[in-house]
Amino acid sequence: MAITFVAFFAFTMAVLGLAYYKTKNANTGTEEGYFLAGRGLTGWVIAASLLLTNLSCEQMVGLNGQGYGFNMSVMAWEVTAAAALIIVALYFLPRYLKQGYATVPDFAADRYDAATKHMINGLFLLGYVFILFPIILYAGAVGMGGIFNLKEVFGFQSDFAMIAVVVVAIGILGCIYNYFGGLRIIAWADTFNGIGLLVGGLMIPILGLMFIGDGNLITGLNILITENPEKFNSIGKATDPVPFATIFTGMFLVNLFYWGTNQVIIQRALAAKNLKEGQKGVLICAVFKLMGPLFLVLPGIIAYHIFKDNPLNTMDMAYSSLVRTVLHNPLLVGLFAAVLFGAILSAFSGAINSTSTLFTLNVYKPFFAKKDATDADIVKKGKMAAIILVLFSMCVAPLISFAPKGLFQYLQTANGLYNVPIFTLILVGMFNKKAPAWAAKTVLIGFIIVYSFTQLLPMIKGGVYASALPGFLHWFVHLHFLHILAILFFICAAFMLITGHFWPTDVKFDIHNDKKVIDMKPWSLVYVISFIIFAAVVGIYILLSPIGIAK
């Protein structure tokens, strides 16, 4: 165990040291320097930061857990994200960068009004505090606790107690990491951690297959597929977490929101040196997302095969149990834990930085800052506010252990409260110049109320009240949450278009390249690479289907 902790500590310090060296001359005392890395990020750094902000422990633990409990259908969250990133690179990113936006709510202010901006900003902050922060903390605690077997090492009486203690430890370290760094050091740390995560992430399924095949990788793969062909079916049934039809409804919308309008993610691309580097970073990330099933779902299936005679207590323990089983070398365990911990810190610190950005620029600066406040004063207040919000999230995180359908399903279902409503406003706002601000506010409020109704009602007294509903409502509230999101999206978008036709806004919105913040020349290969990525998405689904290896 001593060797494991030494390797863990050494790798973690090395990454932080390299990140500090690459950013030691950066100016993080200004708003643009701290929140947008001085608008100087290049394509590979953006890609690594996007990937590490997304691929944290909630992905490793949650998706592999669903792979253990279900099948390859859950890979849709990864593979279809590549298609969404194509749209982000071609349409969303150029529109943001033309105006030099620092936050997504800034676009809402230009398109609708200040009140709509503050409503969206508030939804982001609530979503991050009650959903995103707790998820990252909980998943990190489960992953690190499982790898190091902290429950037994420190004698915790229950998994809940172990998770609560590790949540606090990760939360404190994440706050320190963010407080002294800003987006630039986070992005560079993501780059170095990304290399380790890619190597370490692929190492686990390779060792797992060798474990199954008594040292032979090909034999292990053949045994896994032959004995568990149903596990390699990406065409999800109605009883799976991701039914195939949802890919074309709510999942498409959720992915577009996540990669195109979620502040935590898009902030990395908003910090691009120019449009070319921004598009390059987004599409490089899309290529890596195509590899996601190899280390985000396949290990869960391997864990199912290894532990099916002695099932695990919860599907969310599948990944850490597999890591402990196949990594016998304490040095490798320490290095892998360091990589995973780096991913946790990257995602958590990135989320803190984005939360600080939203609070500082859209709440503190316009409402509370003094007129003579310096950039340094404003940045400092934003950091302190983010820390307070994180402390609150630490109290929420351990409660996720009671989620009935696993970590990742809880994450996506809960995110529906704010992701698609915000995306609806942004998308309609980009492509329609007439929808009025009052319609946008109505959509935000109505969407959240109806979606909450559909998710909460079936849970009340085991669904007794829901079963008494009239036919259509009974059918509606029991739909898969992704289908519900899609139906509400089309209803709300239609409402905004209709109101824009009959009661158009007085000021017609248009995007001009007035500010000329960065060079807007696009990447010359953007369309070629986009076509190759889309073709790969289709090919992967054909391979992992009843007409491919799943037969």
Question: What would the pLDDT profile of 231-251 be if each residue is shown by its tens digit?
Answer: 999 998 888 888 899 898 888
More confident residue, 536 or 478: 536
**Res. 494 pLDDT band, cuts 50 70 90:** very high
Go through the domains of the chain in sequence order and give each one's CATH number: 2-25+36-505+518-543 (1.20.1730.10)
Q: How far apart are CA 194 and CA 55, in angstroms?
A: 9
Distance (Å, whole) CA 236 – CA 409: 15
Q: Looking at mean pLDDT, say which of 188-192, 212-216, 417-421 comes out highest.
A: 212-216
All residues at 6 or more sequence positions from 165 whose CB lies less than 8 Å from its CB, including other chains:
154, 156
pLDDT of residue 469: 59
**Cβ atoms of 154 and 175 closer than 8 Å:** no
Counting Cα atoms < 13 Å in the Cβ hemisphere of 234 gives 22
Mean pLDDT of the chain: 81
Return phi, psi of residue 286, to 5°: -60, -40
pLDDT at 303: 94
Q: Does the pLDDT of residue 499 top 90, yes or no?
A: yes
Which tops the pLDDT comparison, 177 or 489?
489
Per residue in 390-438, pLDDT (tens digit) is: 888 888 777 776 655 555 566 677 788 888 899 999 999 888 888 999 9
Are 129 and 393 in contact by the 8 Å Cβ rule? The answer is yes
Tokens coding 335? 């290095």
Cβ neighbours for 99, distance < 8 A, ≥ 6 positions apart: 106, 107, 110, 511, 512, 513, 514, 515, 517
Alpha helices per DSSP H over 360-480: 365-367, 375-396, 407-415, 419-431, 437-456, 464-467, 471-477
Q: What is the mean pLDDT of residues 273-299?
A: 92
Q: What is the pLDDT of residues 500-528, one digit of tens each?
A: 999 988 766 666 555 666 778 999 999 99
pTM of the model: 0.80
